[in-house]
Structure 1
Amino acid sequence: MNRTITFNELRKIKDSLPSGSMHRIADELNMSVETVRNFFGGHNFKTGKSVGIHLEPGPDGGLVMLDDTTVLDKAIDILREVEKEEMQEA
């Protein structure tokens, strides 16, 4: 599924993920950690693959057009898990 979000929104999601999430996403989706990092704006294409993101300059860091939201969906699932755990602890 295609989706468009701002670069700053994408970075906020990445920065909100708990430690180890890049490895968890990579393991669960059977891809390299560098490929997951590339999804969130990294540029390591020697060990990671391109992930179908397209950047357009603009406000709020510009727009990011995602060809496939699988990595983003997994990251959002992790954030929901963390939120649920925090609510149960309160």
Structure 2
Amino acid sequence: MERKMTFNELRKIKDSLPDGSIKKMAQEFDVTEETVRNYFGGANYTNGAAVGIHMEPGPNGGIVLIDDTKILDRAKQIIEAEAV
């Protein structure tokens, strides 16, 4: 499922993740930690893969179009579980 959001919204989700979440998601999705970081706007393609996000310039850091939301959805689940 495709989703649009601002880059700032995407970074806020990443910044809200508890310690160890990037590693946990990397293990769950069988990707490198850098690949998960790239999903949230990182750009380390030496140690991580491209992840199907497309950025367009604009306000609030620009618009991000996410092709596959499974990492985003999992990140939101982790954040919600921490809030309980």
TM-score by length of 2: 0.97
1:1-90, aligned counterparts within 5 Å? 1-84=1-84
Cα shift at 1:30: 1.1
1:47 & 1:8 partners in 2: Cα distance?
24
Deviation of 1:39 after TM superposition, in Å, equals 0.3
d(CA) in 1 for partners of 2:29, 2:77: 13
Secondary structure of 1:15's match? helix
Q: Percent identity?
A: 56
Q: What secondary structure does 1:43 align onto?
A: coil
> In the alignment, what sits opposite 1:87?
none
The TM-score, its normalising length taken from structure 1, stands at: 0.91
Count residues with an aligned counterpart: 84
Q: What RMSD over aligned residues (CA atoms) do the two structures have, in Å?
A: 0.6
Q: Tell me how far apart the structure 2 counterparts of residues 38 and 54 of structure 1 sit (CA, whole Å).
A: 11
Q: Higher Cα Rg: structure 1 or 2?
A: 1
Cα distance in 2 for partners of 1:27, 1:80 equals: 20
